[in-house]
Amino acid sequence: MHGLINRAIQGFVSDSFGTSRWRAICRGARLEVDEFEAMLHYEDALTERLLDAVAAEIGVPREAVLEDIGTYLVSNPNVEALRRLLRFGGENFVEFLHSLDELPDRARLAVDDLGLPTLELREVEERRFTLSCRFSIAGFGHVLIGMLRTLADDYGALVFLEHLGVEQIGAADRAEAIETIEITIIETAFAAGRRFDLGARADA
């Protein structure tokens, strides 16, 4: 797992619950350090332990933790750059959805060894889509739900999101998880969205 992903978990916990809770989580996950280096790579099993420890410490299901991390990644001022990267995908929520297939390649322009989930959007019918997410560990689909829900609000769209489950594929030592999210757009212009500028700074 790329260190940036573990750093995102660290940032979410520290910003949301404080550094003392973060250190307690590191102890619960049996980590030798309580700081992750952004450009290093870590074993997937370490990230799995870390997520389980976060869920245990704050007393919510792991899926809820993952969704909250997704919300944090596109709403907290400390990670504004990710929101900007995503908002460059389109002028409205539908255009943004169609840009998601390209997101891993766009991210690698900034960090060439950053391994993100493979995403595939399919239009089932007008205003209804499925988004498949393929990654080395299960759960990233819930991160996407948190991100999508927040970005829908960002664009002023009203959407319904449902996690349709996860399928494990491949051999045990090289397994991957495929998760599917159903996206139903109820109204594309339900409310005024957040302001977004192409310049160096985006205001809420």
- The pLDDT, as a whole number, for residue 200 is 47
Contact yes or no for 96/89 (Cβ under 8 A): yes
Average pLDDT over residues 54-58: 95
- Give yes or no for residue 142 having a pLDDT over 90: yes
Token couple for 63: 């899926």
CA pair distance 51, 109, nearest whole angstrom: 27
Q: In what order do the strands lie in the sheet with 118-125?
A: 118-125, 128-135, 176-187, 158-169
Residue with the bigger pLDDT between 111 and 178: it is 178
pLDDT of residue 128 exceeding 80, the answer is yes
* Mean predicted confidence (pLDDT) in 77-81: 78
Mean pLDDT of the chain: 84
Highest mean pLDDT: which range of 83-97, 103-117, 187-201: 83-97
